[in-house]
C-alpha cells in the first residue's frame, strides 16, 4: 500500500516513478536470479541520520519517521524460502 495514492496511476510523476520497486529491482535482476522477492516496509529514525540528511528526507522525500516493518509478514515470507532452495 502506498502512503499516498498517485494523482494519476497511469502516468506516474518523477518522484513516484523513482520510488517504484521496478526502479530498484531492474538493475539487480540483470545480475542475479532470486528465488523469491519480498518487499517490506522499513524503519526511518532521524536520530540515526547525519544532520544534513534530515532536511533532505523531510523536504525532498517527505518520509515520516517510524518503524513500518511487519515482522509477521517478513517471517512468513522467509519461512516459505526453504523449499525454494531445494528446487
Model pLDDT for residues 25-78, shown as the tens digit of each residue: 999 999 999 999 999 999 999 999 999 999 988 888 788 899 999 999 999 999
- 1 within a domain of the structure (yes/no): no
C-alpha grid cell, residue 21: 520497486
Print the domain residue range for 47.
14-86
Q: Classify residue 38: in a domain, yes or no.
A: yes
Q: Let me know if residue 44 belongs to a domain.
A: yes
Choose between 57 and 2: higher pLDDT: 57
Residue 19: inside a domain: yes
The whole model's pTM is what? Answer: 0.67
Is residue 9 situated within a structural domain?
A: no
For 22, half-sphere exposure in the C-beta direction (CA atoms, 13 angstrom radius) is 3
Total of domains in the chain: 1
Q: Flag whether pLDDT at 22 surpasses 80.
A: yes
Q: Which of 75, 73, 12, 18 is nearest to 41 (CA)?
A: 73
- Domain membership of residue 2 (yes or no) is no
Amino acid at each position: 500500500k502506498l502512503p499516498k495514492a498517485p494523482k494519476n496511476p497511469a502516468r506516474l510523476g518523477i518522484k513516484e516513478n523513482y520510488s517504484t520497486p521496478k526502479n530498484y529491482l531492474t538493475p539487480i535482476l540483470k545480475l542475479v536470479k532470486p528465488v523469491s522477492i519480498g518487499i517490506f516496509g522499513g524503519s526511518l529514525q532521524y536520530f540515526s541520520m547525519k544532520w544534513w540528511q534530515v532536511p533532505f528526507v523531510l523536504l525532498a522525500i517527505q518520509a515520516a519517521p517510524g518503524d513500518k516493518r511487519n515482522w509477521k509478514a517478513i517471517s512468513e515470507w522467509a519461512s516459505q524460502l526453504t523449499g525454494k532452495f531445494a528446487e
